[in-house]
Structure 1
Amino acid sequence: MHIIVIGAGVVGISTAYYLVRAGHRVSLIERHPEPAREASFANGGQLSYRYVAPLAAPDVPAKLPGWLLAADAPLRFRLRADPAQWRWGLAFLAACTARQSARTTAQLLALAESSRQQMAGLLAAHPGLDFAHRSNGKLVVHRDPGSFAAARRQVELQQRLGAAGSPQEILDAAACAAREPMLAGIAGQLAGGVFTAGEAVADCHRFCQQLLALIRETAPDTACHFATTAQRLLTRQGRFVAVATGNGEIAADACVLASGSEAPRLAAGLGIALPIQPLKGYSLTLPLAATDAAPSASVTDFARKIVYAPIGGQLRVAGIADLVGNDRRIDRRRIALLRRQAAEFFPAAADPDAGQPWSGLRPATPDGRPIIGASPCRNLWLNCGHGPLGFTLALASGKLLGELVDRQRPSIPDAAFALR
């Protein structure tokens, strides 16, 4: 079967990989001149298979007033006269319950564990792949005792859910500094942290490039339509038939919509409403001044929603979520915040002023579950809405989507990720 995949970010390329492995002929359509130029380009680089709790958490509604008033809040809104944004916001608030958060966490853990297994298999089968992958663990530090207590409860919840992978360690402030000596300067500000040994970091952009090269090596007939914008989806009698692009129509037997924050626009042309809003994130990529001053593990400042990931001789400082529509501009104030935080956390590791700034739109659903599966249009499939977990969940999402396309029994329960 000839299948078009719209979007050559990490989710789209992972989808193409599994479709090619299943024997399908794939055509990729990507509006940029090369793969992974949007949310997959300079993201946090974390493969956090045990840290999948959704942003829609029970404590979020109480924090929202403060976040709305603070200039340096980790989550910022720009309210617009957009019914889709308001519907998304109301659905987000409705998902901020302990019951829904626990249910979503369990479903995301299953998808993340599948992704972890797929990554291990990929690396074992192709040892020549080089995208700065490193299983160096992840330390999430908490400044507030209440936040730290909630983190304990989350660890206990995941233990009850039987989460696979490395066990999680609860650390007090002194133990956090012992685990990561570069935090000694701010240990007095910490209430404690959670360390997971099995988590990893990698360069998502390089991963996409190398996985695409592997696809082309495996299936030389794979067509890559770069610098090609998908304008609309064409159907006949309720069935997908082609994609209209600026370079003409491309026909196929089926299509997978994996175009991130662009997916709702294309789906809307068929009367399909995807509950996805772009959450703009930011990053700084800093050349390390001294490797022994950088963190050995990936570190997350939970309160400020900022991650510090050592990736291939650089320090990636990333985080923040701005719900500001499709505004792709880099907000200098947000980058300045990342610079200040990097200077506070790891002052000797790098010069924050030398960092390369970036921003990208992460396609998020209200409750944090990606949309993977069939659409109301026959032979149009969906693999989108992964939010900040795109890199973590990409391989499992591609595998699951391929199983559904081929009418195979899914390797994990798929109903949770169906379009609702």
Structure 2
Amino acid sequence: MSQRVTIIGGGVIGLATAYALVREGLSVDLVEARDSLASATSFANGGQLSYRYVAPLADAGVPWQALGWLLQGESPLRLRLRLDPAQWRWLVAFMMACRRSVNRRNTEVLLELALHSQATLERWREDDGLGNFAWRRNGKLVAFRSEHAFARGREHLLDPVSQQVLGATDIQALEPSLVGTPFIGGVYTKDEEVADCHRFCQQLAERLRASGRCRFLLGRPVTRLIRRNDEVTGLLLGHEQLDVEQLVLCAGHRSPGLALPGLKLPIYPLKGYSLTAPIASNHRAPEVSITDYERKIVYARLGEQLRVAAMVDIVGFDETVDARRYQSMLRLARNTLPEAADYGRAVEWAGMRPATPTGVPILGATRYRNLWLNLGHGALGFTLACGSGERLARLMC
């Protein structure tokens, strides 16, 4: 392919796609609605690169579990029904995907893409010298509070060769910051990683600028795709038209608003929250990434900062931080790891994860001969970004 590629979306998916295309020798225009790159969903996500923990949210029993969560005061899930057909369609499709056989099949797809993404990032780091984004292979511990949950975790290992089942004494020896916590055991995977997604995006942007093959158009929201028959011929940027030869849509949860006739994009935003707190010498921050299984909250050390992330809010397109939800997450973090960081100086954030009902992203060609898709990665955007970008670049080439 010798045509120039236009990408809509300057988050981690769009940037990884641009980087993969430039590595293949192509030229790229990247169009981003905001004035800066990676300033929305990719800005302060959980920081965990969880390559072997990719099971979709949709699974047998989840609807009943979700009902229990909704009755809790500090539930990891919040649902606010709206007069929005897109929300109802997404919820119905999600319920249809809550079957064990469907979950198992989708998990296999995600695991294969995740491991490919891990290998791709490793190749980019080694071959291209990508660094300075707080990357570490520090391992991940999924910690359990109850015997029932622990038994379920032991039964559903995705990679028994690399995953270890540990008791309470073992997890405290592995991660001393857990001494005194209520966790009774865990599953540890030594090859899992952490990194700062925003800093990674900045690294990609620097390399793309230096390549001479990528042009950034920032602060340019796309209002419409212009088509002729089975081809996209341009983008409408306000009153200006940008002609395109090949187009990749990576606009996250805003992508359905740009869909063309006959192109269904079953994507809805799942709002998540994070806090980033500084770590000083007197703190006992975990070195291993931790997922509190029952509380559905994750902890990742990124250099001298602790990133804590949690919550799934299915509440529409409001991107603002809900103070009550943030305070709930902050209380959980303080109660579980009170000495891990300076929570009094924590910075709050909320982001809209663009999710499909099945949890599997939409990746590849469309009925329009020059329109490609790379979207719907949900909470796994950072984890799957490099593999998704490279896979799409190879499909296009």
TM-score norm. by structure 1 comes to: 0.91
Task: Name the counterpart of 2:210.
Answer: 217
Task: Name the counterpart of 1:18.
Answer: 20
1:114-145 CA deviation, whole Å, 9 max, x = no partner? 01101111111233521010111111111222
Task: Name the counterpart of 1:409.
Answer: none
Alignment of 1:21-32 (within 5 A): 21-32=23-34
CA distance in 1, matches of 2:350, 2:130: 30
Task: Name the counterpart of 1:307.
Answer: 298
Task: Name the counterpart of 1:250.
Answer: 242
Q: How far 1:353 moved relative to its partner?
A: 2.4
Alpha-carbon contact 1:233-1:270 (below 8 Å) kept? no
Task: Name the counterpart of 1:180.
Answer: 175
Q: 1:329 aligns with which of 311, 316, 320?
A: 320
Alpha-carbon contact 1:169-1:196 (below 8 Å) kept? yes
Q: Does 1:264 align with 2:276?
A: no
Task: Name the counterpart of 1:411.
Answer: none
CA distance in 1, matches of 2:82, 2:387: 35
CA distance in 2, matches of 1:226, 1:242: 17
Task: Name the counterpart of 1:396.
Answer: 387
Task: Name the counterpart of 1:105.
Answer: 107
Task: Name the counterpart of 1:57.
Answer: 59
CA distance in 1, matches of 2:133, 2:282: 19
Alpha-carbon contact 1:291-1:349 (below 8 Å) kept? no
Q: How far 1:158 moved relative to its partner?
A: 3.9
Q: 1:194 aligns to what SS in structure 2?
A: strand
CA distance in 2, matches of 1:277, 1:260: 9
Q: 1:237 aligns with which of 209, 214, 229?
A: 229
Q: 1:195 aligns with which of 181, 184, 188?
A: 188
Q: 1:24 aligns to what SS in structure 2?
A: coil
Alpha-carbon contact 2:227-2:233 (below 8 Å) kept? yes
Q: 1:216 aligns to what SS in structure 2?
A: helix
Q: How far 1:171 moved relative to its partner?
A: 1.1
CA distance in 1, matches of 2:218, 2:153: 43
1:165-210 CA deviation, whole Å, 9 max, x = no partner? x700111222222211111121xx2232111111111110010011
CA distance in 2, matches of 1:366, 1:291: 43
CA distance in 1, matches of 2:137, 2:302: 11
Alpha-carbon contact 2:283-2:341 (below 8 Å) kept? no
Of 2-11 and 146-155, the range deviating more from structure 2: 146-155
Quick one: percent identity of the two aligned structures?
47
Alpha-carbon contact 2:166-2:186 (below 8 Å) kept? yes
How many equivalent pairs are there? 395
Q: 2:165 aligns with which of 170, 178, 183?
A: 170
Alpha-carbon contact 1:290-1:348 (below 8 Å) kept? no
CA distance in 1, matches of 2:197, 2:319: 19
- Note the residue ranges of structure 2 that are not aligned, 5 or more in a row: none
Q: How far 1:291 moved relative to its partner?
A: 6.4
1:345-379 CA deviation, whole Å, 9 max, x = no partner? 22112222210000000000111100001122221
CA distance in 2, matches of 1:292, 1:327: 35
Task: Name the counterpart of 1:129.
Answer: 131
Task: Name the counterpart of 2:339.
Answer: 348
The amino acid of 1:228's aligned partner reads R
CA distance in 2, matches of 1:145, 1:402: 45
Q: What RMSD in Å do the two structures reach over aligned CA positions? A: 1.4
Q: 2:95 aligns to what SS in structure 1?
A: helix
